[in-house]
Structure 1
């Protein structure tokens, strides 16, 4: 059974590397839903103007979330009044323009990939904004918002019974520190996890299997390494496809990106692959639950086009300035639990999650979860 244990070990390693970011992302999502006033989000991110997109990008960089958590937080912003384009820009920045991703890329693949990611991220956001401006219809946004307000289970009666609204005044910090605010955050945090954890587990298991079982020779043939010109054209097109079926999310896709780079994928293909953590199959299913099937299909199509286009543009820019890396010597390693910064962060955030879970149980959360079937509380006026 060594082959199975190897795949599980890889999956566990990926989960350990992203655990603290997952908890942080869902905590931020809960804070936004419970504490941030709708008017504040609408004023900052309420349209698709350059100012709103710049603010969404900055907030995404600051949130430093994993892709699953970024998607949940983007939905929270959208429900609070953010424009749909701004919410999607937040997702891109939150998963692709963060410091820990840049550090890991530099360590495993080289500094050129870090630069490429920070160049390609804004390019993708601009391209996505253009596509949304051309093809996104108001009716689709309205349908997506109704689904987002309805919640994952689609039960308005259940949501009414689970209304966690806090109506007190005062500053943001006072609302955040209030007893009622703490309770609301704990309920939303646990219920968001209850709704999404199956998708996360399935994604990590499949990612571990691919990383452990697919031989390097397969990748070399698949990426057309014997035909350099075709390989450059093929890489950005197929990179997102590999990401979609590999289920690897956020920072966890960097080790697999190292495998693909050593296997022969083009430089632009690696960039497109890393971007594509936002359209892997479990997340596409989450989009369907959050926004409905039509909006999910629109997101998938526009994201794929912009990811591939950003890969081509980055490849062209780096070729023009002579920065495209030539050696395929990425470090392919498997993470192990050691007393490094990841372990300390995981311990700290697990303790915080435990506090929120205890608060959730102590304030009658379990019966609500059973009533909703695991869906997060989502009333249109929820929040402090």
Structure 2
């Protein structure tokens, strides 16, 4: 295969994957936007000031409701930490915001199977418990104080503007009435467009990397790397190797699902897939952001704790799912087998593209276009607390 053919094959694989997951992505971000538009969060952020089970549960719930791309989640976690949330609660929020979200669950079900979606919502809380326990053991007061001092310096990140925007509907009233009001629809369009703008780069990058892997990396090579023919070694090494691949792939959020499908087809263990998916918060660019936000010692602690927790969660979920018969026997990820044709996927893609187009039109007609500029830095005056 010459280089030109290799590029074309990689792009074709990426295009097929993108078309297969397009409607679930739009649906996931739409549901996320609806929740963010009508659920006020400032009333419960004060409950994140401790490390009690209740505080961590609130942090996880708030994170899941504030579905974000990894970069925005990291920026928002820093903002919550600066406003009084405990360091552990901020990290739990971060994990939930990228790994316990509806769009990831939908994409996993379409691309890999419902078993992976179930595993996400079971292994995610397991990872959170491990993180909380390890921070209780190893997080020293002087590290927290140094991290807070560094965070209070106001160093801006690439997603600081997005994280600082509160665009939810003000006031009380029935859920549907607030959602279907002019303010509710406008807020929904704002969250939908802003979340897409934040994560689009990672989705495209993830598809390109997964397309190149699928087209160019021999399946036999992956099976050797993951010891696919030795179940014991595959179980032991999968959750350790998975996060390391994520770290160097530079892909985060839902953008790593196509590559997870390639790794699953290539022979990585079930637990290895889950640990890979959870590792979106320790990719190299985000580790550098941690260092800028909290200092070197805190960054190293976060990296070590997260790695151990996601590997441990991978082991636990495979140990639980295997005897229950919930680990898929076949390795034929739907997202890798699909081709673009006139089937239900195409019709759903078209339908949801129409919905996305309508929200995009509403976004710009409401005068929200300047908000996109605020994603590169601190929110512009009037945007940080903008009312729909």
Match of 2:157 among 148, 152, 156: 152
Partner of 1:352: 359
Matched, 1:314 2:317: yes
**Cα shift at 1:117:** 2.3
Cα shift at 1:293: 5.0
Contact 2:206 2:255 in 1 (8 A): no
Partner of 1:138: 144
Give CA deviations for 1:65-117 in whole Å, capped at 9, x if unaligned.
Answer: 44445445444544554333223223322333334434443444344333322
CA 1:132–1:189: 2 relative to 1, 3 Å: farther
Q: Given that residues 318 and 327 in structure 2 are in contact (C-alpha distance below 8 angstroms), is that contact kept between their aligned partners in structure 1?
A: yes
Q: After TM superposition, give the deviation of residue 305 of structure 1 in Å.
A: 1.0
Q: Which residues of 2 match residues 324-339 of structure 1 at below 5 A? A: 324-331=327-334, 332-333=336-337, 336=340, 339=346
Q: Tell me the equivalent position of 2:376.
A: 374
What is the CA distance between 1:326 and its match in structure 2?
3.7
Q: Does 1:305 align with 2:322?
A: no
Whole-Å separation in 2 of the counterparts to 1:128 and 1:303: 7
User: 2:29 touches 2:103 (CA, 8 Å); kept in 1?
Assistant: no
1:150 is paired with a residue of what secondary structure?
A: coil
Contact 2:36 2:66 in 1 (8 A): no
Once residues 288 and 278 of structure 1 are traced to their aligned partners in structure 2, the CA distance between those partners, rounded to angstroms, is 13
- Give the deviation of 1:121 after TM superposition: 1.1
Q: Matches of 1:139 and 1:79 in 2, distance apart?
A: 11
Give 1:312 deviation, angstroms. 1.2
Cα 1:144–1:316 change in 2 (3 A) is farther
Which residue of 247, 259, 263 corresponds with 2:262? Answer: 259
User: Contact 2:247–2:284 (CA<8 Å) still a contact in 1?
Assistant: yes
Deviation at 1:240, TM superposition (A): 1.0
Residue 50 of structure 1, CA deviation:
0.9
Q: Which residue in 2 is equivalent to 1:53?
A: 56
Q: In the TM superposition, what whole-angstrom CA distance separates every residue of 1:2-37 from its partner, at most 9, and x where no partner exists? A: 4223333444566674764896699799979xx968
Q: CA deviation at 1:263?
A: 1.7
Deviation at 1:320, TM superposition (A): 4.7
**Structure 1 pair 317–64 and aligned structure 2 pair: CA distance change class (3 A):** same
TM-score, normalised to structure 1's length?
0.72
How large is the Cα RMSD of the aligned pairs? 4.7
| Cα separation, partners in 2 of 1:153 and 1:72, compared to 1, 3 Å | closer
What is the distance in 1 between the residues matched to 2:198 and 2:111? Answer: 33
Given that residues 253 and 274 in structure 1 are in contact (C-alpha distance below 8 angstroms), is that contact kept between their aligned partners in structure 2?
A: yes
Unaligned runs of 5+ in 1: none
Structure 2: distance between partners of 1:67 and 1:296: 16
Q: Distance in 2 between matches of 1:133 and 1:345?
A: 45
Name which of structure 1's ranges 193-202 and 212-221 shifts more when overlaid on structure 2: 193-202
Inter-partner Cα distance in structure 1 for 2:44 and 2:203: 28
CA shift at 1:339, angstroms? 4.5
**Aligned pair in 2 of structure 1 residues 319, 334: CA closer, same or farther (>3 Å)?**
closer
Structure 1 residues 26 and 232, CA gap change in structure 2 (3 angstroms): closer
Q: Which moved more, 1:130-139 or 1:215-224?
A: 130-139
Instruction: Provide closer, same or farther for how the CA distance between residues 37 and 114 of structure 1 changes in structure 2, counting only shifts above 3 A.
Output: closer
Partner Cα separation in structure 1 for residue 159 and residue 217 of structure 2 = 39
CA spacing shift, 1:57–1:10, aligned 2, 3 Å: farther
Deviation readout 1:200-228 (Å, 9 max, x if unpaired): 65555434433432221110110112333
Q: Give the distance between the partners of 1:333 and 1:292, measured in 2 at CA.
A: 44
Tell me which residue corresponds to 1:94: 97
Q: Partners of 2:352 and 2:250 in 1: how far apart?
A: 24
Alpha-carbon offset, residue 233 of structure 1:
0.8
Question: Residues of 1 paired with 2:46 and 2:80: CA distance?
Answer: 12
Q: CA deviation at 1:328?
A: 3.2
Provide, for residues 224-269 of structure 1, a one-character-per-residue CA deviation record: whole Å limited to 9, x for no partner: 1233322211111001112222334333433332322222212211
